[in-house]
Structure 1
């Protein structure tokens, strides 16, 4: 009972709005120093330093969906007009052609991920044309990792066949929850039978890794409904599971207001996670990084055990390269030396591409201190331990040092000299721990930024 009370007090203390740290610095704190051709000059420099030897990762954003999922915080555009596919496909290929010119030589692709929106909104023929053209312009690494996000309701056997023929071997299905009442509230209706059908089809075609995205903290969720959902998950036993915290930001995503009064309270929400986590471990899954689980045979588990796990805007990956190029509206590129994000509105993006305008909406050139902090946070999120560079420790305000001391007293971490190790109870608060090293947040307290709560 004491342990439960202590856990509830920690949840109340640390359930604060903090970044998810898919990058450092986080996007709201990018400084937008680059103008004109500066971004492509930086990409060329990074490619010469890292990309030629390590290869590159590629992310392509497909923003279109036929219906609105009210929980969703992604960049999307709701339409049933599939004529948008042609213009957007042309834009993607023109953007990629620009990067090929910037590289100056044929790149080697190590990983490719399609996200959205709904990539399977596009017809198999449209995907074949875009992806086939891009891949023909590259060398393909023998250890490549190609994956896409699939909506169970509209991912057809033809989608799977075409993508498999292009080299895709992993698919991530957005399940979220199997309970009918929860599905209705978040406007994501997909029967278990449909999910089972598309999962079996992917396996039959030779997809070697299948991931389910699940969310805790959704409206009407209880331990009983979650147990039923996980019972169905056990029947299909995907290789990987991402078990995310629902991010409630109704001031940004207005559709979330529709179910606001049915959300679980913060302590109930955390109990849902702990309950789901215990079920997954009973099923044989191992915890990998933050919010991710995988069966022991999955390469993600092997990467965790070997200390080679990497994380970028696409999530956890086996490819620890430093170059990730994002194509499409709102896509983010990360070339280690800096970041850039494309224009978010797909119509404006298309217009800018057609008229050869600069499509970069935000950017950031990393300083030496940025890179040190980025690597520290990445180590904490991937390996749950890190070495704290003296330059970072010297910059930390006394308040943040005291916060880390409190976390150590609370049993969340151990710090010995310049080494920091996150303990099992601290994994639930990993974003809060990373936050203590976020020097950009400390420097610009006047900036009002909305982040989801950590629990």
Structure 2
């Protein structure tokens, strides 16, 4: 019996080997403007508080911990490389100030159903610092039972004892950064971590009852080949994490300084990358994983796979989620949040972040207030990305518009994808096919008004 991955030909993979947004938001973060500042963000929070009297929208928290002890050459995240752990205590004090500014606007005890600690390396913080951070958050917010509370983990920074601490603090989901198990690849990207170490940590995490364990992989790194990545895939299947995130490496040394340490001649060819992606899809789905969407796979019993089956997938700045569409308060340097019909991003340097808080201001550096057109297109793009279909009538009722007239050009542009078997367009709506789900970003891009006027896509990662 053929798997769904057999529907994806190398020809289609090559055809859609193009750059495009990941649509963790629409409009995407590159559209944020500096005209949106601290006062606009404060106003959005106050509007949330006013609206909460009639409708208490769920709330998520994201906390960015920027510190890392060593540099991974492929990394494009906002991070600070340091071995001086005293920097963490100062950073935590400023996080506390930022939380205080929020509670002044929205009140204490707002219910939180989702928390994610990202970085950088959140486990750069020691046990006492992580405990202090979680205690501060729990003093100011009410963490709902059964919520998703996750943390990104660098396997090189923790042991079994630290897993006990994370469980005690209330984390129920872990994401391990693996990237590749091959020693030559690890050396080339300056991230050496033996496979045995990861296997031991995952086994210990399972013994401690963590509800979901994710592993991040990257294909397209220096020294990789389809054959070497096959060995990593075999090890990952043996490890059997609940979720797998499979990302394509985007080599943009002109934008990300660490990547200049990677020798371009050591990177696999475009054809080799396509082969790695194709083999990965087949290997994971043959092993029983569900293709959730884009670069995510999950075992059938994982909450993400269940949400996919039941049509309850959502999407936020951390990717696919089972949590309802909700406001996101983002704390820490460079973090991106969403309140109502606004997006905002904090200052990208510690100096600017600290300076704003020293002056009693939100560290908002830029953002966006969404227009009506943004909201309409966001609803369509997120429906495609999460449910794989759009019903014209539901959009028309929500926004009092005629879908086929408003999106006449986009429906015409979908004809090529319909001929390729990626979508079905009829009188009632748009349906992404089983094959089209592998290329859902390309389908969503048709409705992106900003891409229609700006064809410069080099700033985005490849869509497959």
User: What TM-score results when the alignment is normalised by the length of structure 2?
Assistant: 0.91
Question: By how many angstroms is 1:239 displaced?
Answer: 1.1
Deviation of the 1:50 alpha carbon: 5.9
Once residues 56 and 176 of structure 2 are traced to their aligned partners in structure 1, the CA distance between those partners, rounded to angstroms, is 32
Q: 1:237 to 1:46 in 2, by over 3 A?
A: same
| Cα distance in 2, alignment partners of residues 324 and 451 from structure 1 | 23
Residue 126 of structure 1 aligns with which residue? 129
In the other structure, the counterpart of 2:95 is 92
Deviations 1:346-398 (A, max 9, x none): 23212321232441111111122211211211111112222354556545574
Give the CA deviation at 1:211. 0.8
Q: Does 1:216 align with 2:226?
A: no
Distance 1:434 1:321 in 2: 18
**Aligned partner (choices 201, 204, 208) of residue 205 of structure 1:** 208
Deviation of the 1:327 alpha carbon: 0.2
* Pick aligned residue for 1:340 from 337, 341, 344: 344
1:108 aligns with 2:111: yes
Q: How does 1:24-423 map to 2 (within 5 A)?
A: 24-49=26-51, 53-257=56-260, 258-388=262-392, 389=395, 393-396=404-407, 398=409, 400-423=410-433
Answer whether contact 1:33 1:365 (CA < 8 A) is retained: no
Structure 1 position 7, deviation (Å): 3.9
> What secondary structure is seen at the aligned counterpart in 2 of 1:96?
helix
Offset of residue 279 of structure 1 = 1.1
Deviations 1:95-120 (A, max 9, x none): 01111111134200101000000000
- The Cα offsets for residues 175-217 of structure 1, whole Å up to 9 and x where unpaired, read as 0110111111111111011112221222222212111111122
TM-score by length of 1: 0.93
2: CA distance between counterparts of 1:393 and 1:175?
Answer: 45
Hey, what's the Cα distance between the residues in 1 that align with 2:283 and 2:254? 34
Cα offset for 1:66?
Answer: 0.9
Give, in whole Å, the separation in 1 of the partners of 2:296 and 2:455. 34
- Return 277-286 or 379-388, whichever deviates more: 379-388
Q: Is residue 2:443 matched to residue 1:433?
A: yes
Query: Secondary structure at the residue paired with 1:37?
Result: helix
CA distance in 1, matches of 2:291, 2:225: 22
Alpha carbons 1:11, 1:267 under 8 Å: kept: no
Long gaps (5+) in structure 2: 396-400
SS at match of 1:424: coil
User: Would the aligned equivalents of 1:50 and 1:323 in 2 still touch at CA under 8 Å?
Assistant: no
Q: Which runs of 5 or more structure 1 residues have no equivalent in the other structure?
A: none
Q: Report the 3-state secondary structure (helix = DSSP H, G, I; strand = E; otherwise coil) of the residue aligned with 1:250.
A: coil
CA distance in 2, matches of 1:58, 1:410: 40
8 Å contact 1:11–1:266 — kept in the other structure? no
1:452 and 2:455 correspond: no
Distance of aligned partners of 1:48 and 1:269 in 2 relative to their CA distance in 1, 3 Å threshold? farther
Task: Provide the aligned length of Structure 1 versus Structure 2.
Answer: 451
* Superposed displacement of residue 449, structure 1: 6.6
Task: Look up the SS of the partner of 1:53 in the other structure.
Answer: coil
